[in-house]
């Protein structure tokens, strides 16, 4: 039985998946997104340990608030780093009739074994994926996250081919991801996918900068302000152009 390293828990989440959800943020992330507001989730192996049953018992205390759509979401950090735990957790959740949602950057995704078979197993127990595409351009993605986006886009294709329900999420950062050219390219990519239920812009914010001070890390996007409502509206329109959502 795998144990999870948990960073934190939110009992009533309303933005990370359908309906009201119990959200578990797992510890550990391989990405180093310049805009990350949770650098305290990066280090692997930290956090509080929980078994799948312990977390499900905790989550089920809130079941009466979930209605028809809600359930549990596992986020991060990067939840896919703890895929063995996820398989056990989501398979047990399905036995209890709980709706499952995975919020991921998909950075660990690969079609190589043994990871790929594990991912396929996990998908059997996952109802919805919230897939964060940080940048559509690979060069810019590397600058922004220190990783390529090629396996992430490949994950999106795999999920499309298998018909898994996906929400695409994109952080809008002034001067970095808000260029029309990139938003149009992302829109064109999303149009190639057959399984997208929702497309969401997540406006960049600076609420996590104090954590960088605490960790003694210099905040890399100093001076960049959150996007205006006008630019959020424009970006949303470009990203959803021609999509029937």
Binding residues vs ligand SF4 (CB under 6 A): 29, 31-33, 36, 38, 41, 76-78, 105
Q: Is the peptide bond before 95 cis (omega within 30 degrees of 0)?
A: no
If you write DSSP's letter for every residue of 149-207 in order, what string do you get?
SHHHHHHHHHHHHHT-EEEEEEEE-TTTT--HHHHHHHHHHHHT-S-EEEEEEEE---T
Q: 56 or 131: whose CB is closer to ligand SF4? A: 131
Residues 127, 171, 80, 59: is their CA dihedral positive or negative? negative
Q: 56 or 152: whose CB is closer to ligand SF4? A: 152
CA atoms lying within 13 Å on the CB side of residue 181:
4
CB 36 to ligand SF4: min, Å: 3
Q: 17 or 77: whose CB is closer to ligand SF4? A: 77
Closest by alpha carbon to 28, among 72, 80, 89, 74? Answer: 80
Q: 92 or 226: whose CB is closer to ligand SF4? A: 226
CB 42 to ligand SF4: min, Å: 6
Which residues fall within 8 angstroms of residue 245, CB to CB, at 6 or more apart? 196, 197, 198, 199
CB 105 to ligand SF4: min, Å: 4
CB 78 to ligand SF4: min, Å: 6
CB 108 to ligand SF4: min, Å: 11
Q: 78 or 88: whose CB is closer to ligand SF4? A: 78
């Amino acid at each position: 039985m795998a144990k999870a390293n948990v960073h934190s828990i939110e009992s009533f989440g309303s933005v990370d998946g359908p309906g009201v959800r119990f959200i578990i943020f797992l510890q550990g992330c391989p990405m180093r997104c310049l805009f990350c507001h949770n650098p305290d989730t990066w280090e692997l192996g930290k956090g509080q340990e929980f078994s799948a049953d312990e977390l499900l018992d905790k989550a089920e205390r809130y079941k009466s608030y979930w209605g028809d759509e809600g359930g549990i979401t596992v986020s991060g950090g990067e939840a896919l780093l703890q895929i063995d735990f996820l398989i056990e957790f989501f398979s047990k959740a399905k036995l209890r009739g709980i709706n499952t949602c995975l919020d991921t950057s998909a950075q660990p995704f690969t079609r190589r074994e043994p990871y790929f078979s594990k991912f396929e197993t996990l998908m059997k127990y996952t109802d919805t994926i919230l897939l964060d595409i940080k940048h559509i351009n690979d060069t810019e993605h590397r600058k922004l996250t220190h990783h390529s986006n090629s396996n992430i886009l490949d994950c999106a294709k795999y999920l499309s081919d298998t018909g898994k329900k996906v929400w695409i999420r994109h952080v809008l950062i002034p001067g970095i991801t808000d260029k029309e050219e990139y938003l149009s390219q992302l829109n064109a990519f999303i149009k190639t996918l057959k399984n997208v239920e929702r497309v969401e812009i997540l406006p960049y914010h600076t609420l996590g900068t104090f954590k960088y001070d605490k960790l003694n890390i210099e905040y890399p996007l100093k001076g960049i302000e959150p996007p205006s409502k006008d630019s959020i509206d424009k970006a949303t329109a470009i990203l959803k152009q021609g999509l029937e959502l």
